[in-house]
Chains A and B, each alone.
Chain A
Amino acid sequence: MSILVNKDTKVIVQGFTGKEGSFHAEQCMAYGTKIVGGVTPNKGGQEHLGQPVFNTVKEAVVGTGATVSMIFVPPAFVADAVMEAAAAGITLAVVITEGAPVRDMQAAKAFATKHGMMTIGPNCPGIITAEECKIGIMPGAIFKKGNVGLISKSGTLTYEGANQVCREGFGISTAVGIGGDPIIGLSYKQLLKMFQEDDDTHAIVMIGEIGGDLEIQAAAYIKENITKPVVAFIAGQTAPAGKRMGHAGAIISGSAGTAKEKMDALKAAGVTVVVSPAEIGKAVKAVLNK
Chain B
Amino acid sequence: MNIHEYQAKQIFAKYGVPTPRGIIANTPSQAMTNAQELGGDVWVVKAQIHAGGRGLGGGVKLARSITEVKELASEILGMTLVTHQTGPEGKLVQKVYIEEGADIVDELYLGIVLDRAKEMPVIMASTEGGMDIETVAHNTPEKIIKIAVDPFIGFQGFHGRELVFGLGITDPKEQSKLIKLAKALYTLYMENDAEMIEINPLIKTGAGDFLALDGKMGFDDSALGRHPEVEDMRDISEEDADEREASQYGLSYIALDGEIGCMVNGAGLAMGTMDTINYMGGTPANFLDVGGSANAQTVAKGFEIILKNPNVKAIFVNIFGGIVRCDRIANGILEATKLVDVHVPVIVRLDGTNAIEAAEILKNANIPNVIAATDLGDGAAKAVRAAKGE
Interface residues of A (CB under 8 A from B): 75-76, 99-104, 106-107, 109-110, 125, 137-139, 142, 152-157, 159-160, 163-164, 180, 182-183, 207, 209-210, 212-214, 217, 233, 235-240, 243-254, 259, 275-279
Report the Cα distance A237→B265, complex, angstroms: 18
Note all chain B residues with C-beta closer than 8 A to A101.
193, 220, 222-223, 226
Q: Can you identify 11 A-B contacts, CB atoms within 8 angstroms? A: A102-B220, A103-B193, A154-B268, A160-B272, A164-B375, A182-B114, A245-B198, A248-B196, A249-B113, A251-B124, A259-B275
Contact in complex: B352, A159 (CB < 8 Å):
yes
**Chain B, 347-390, contact with A by CB distance < 8 Å: what is the 0/1 string?**
00001110000000000000000000001110010000000000
For the complex, give the distance between the alpha carbons of A106 and B116 in Å: 10
B131 shortest CB reach to chain A, Å: 11
Docked Cα-Cα span, A155 to B269, in Å, equals 8
Besides A154-B266, A240-B254, A251-B134, 7 new A-B residue pairs in contact (Cβ under 8 A), listed by A number: A101-B222, A163-B352, A243-B86, A247-B137, A251-B133, A252-B114, A278-B375
Contact B116 A183 (CB under 8 A): yes
Q: Which residues of A contact B277 (CB under 8 A)?
A: 238
Bound: A15/B272 CA distance, A: 33
Alpha-carbon distance A213/B115, docked complex (angstroms): 11
- B151 contacts partner chain A, Cβ-Cβ < 8 Å: yes
Q: Which of A137, A209, A217, A276 contacts B377 (CB 8 A)?
A: A276
Contact of B134 with A276 in the complex, beta carbons under 8 Å: no
Cα A209 to Cα B279 with chains together (Å): 17
Pick from B85, B112, B132: contact of A245, CB below 8 A.
B85
Q: Please, which residues of chain B bring their CB within 8 A of the CB of A276?
A: 272, 275-276, 279-280, 376-377, 380
- Bound Cα distance A279, B265 (Å): 19
User: Which B residues, 139 to 158, have Cβ-Cβ distances below 8 Å to chain A?
Assistant: 141, 144, 146, 150-152
**Closest A residue, CB atoms, query B256:** A240
Query: B57 within 8 Å of A by Cβ?
Result: no
A107 touching B193, Cβ below 8 Å: no
Q: Is B169 an interface residue (CB 8 A)?
A: no
Docked CA distance A200–B280 (Å)? 35
Those of B330-358 within 8 Å (CB) of chain A = 351-353
CB distance from A83 to the nearest CB of B (A): 13
Q: Which residues of B contact A217 (CB under 8 A)?
A: 117
Contact of B266 among A102, A107, A157, A238 (CB under 8 A): A157
Q: Enumerate chain A residues within 8 angstroms of B19, measured Cβ to Cβ.
A: none
Cβ of A183: which chain B residues have Cβ within 8 Å of it? 114, 116, 119
Interface size on B, residues (CB 8 A): 70
Q: Does B267 contact A (CB under 8 A)?
A: yes
Decide: B322 and A245 in contact? CB cutoff 8 A.
no
Please, how many angstroms separate the alpha-carbon atoms of A246 and B122 in the complex? 15
Residue of B with least CB distance to A99: B222
Task: Knowing A125-B322, A137-B322, A182-B114 are in contact, say whether A275-B223 is a contact too (CB < 8 A).
Answer: no
Interface of B is mostly: mixed
- 5 smallest CB-CB distances across A and B, nearest first, come from A154-B268, A156-B266, A278-B377, A101-B223, A156-B269
CA distance in complex: A243, B254 (Å)? 11
Of the candidates B113, B225, B254, B271, the one whose C-beta lies within 8 Å of that of A76 is B225
Q: Judge whether B284 is part of the interface by a CB distance below 8 angstroms.
A: yes
A103-B193, A252-B122, A278-B377 known; A159+B85 contact, CB < 8 A: no
Within B31-64, which residues are at the interface with A (CB < 8 Å)? 50-52
CA distance A99 to B287 in the complex (A): 20
Within 8 Å by CB of A246, from B111, B272, B276, B323, lies B111
Asked if B198 contacts A109 (CB within 8 A), the reply is: no
> Please, which residue of chain A has its CB at the minimum distance from the CB of B218?
A245
State A152–B254 Cα separation when bound (angstroms): 23
Residue of A106, A154, A159, A209 touching B151 (CB-CB under 8 A): A106
Determine how close the nearest CB of chain B comes to the CB of A128; give it in whole angstroms: 11
Contacts of A153 in B (CB 8 A): 268
In the complex, whether B68 has a CB less than 8 A from a CB of chain A is: no
Are A109 and B85 interface neighbours, CB within 8 A?
no
Determine the distance from Cα of A15 to Cα of B141 in the docked complex, in whole angstroms.
Answer: 47
Considering the complex, give the chain A residue whose CB is closest to the CB of B86: A243
Contact, CB under 8 Å: B271 / A213: no
Q: A110-B119, A137-B323, A240-B254 are in contact. Are A248 and B272 (CB under 8 A)?
A: no
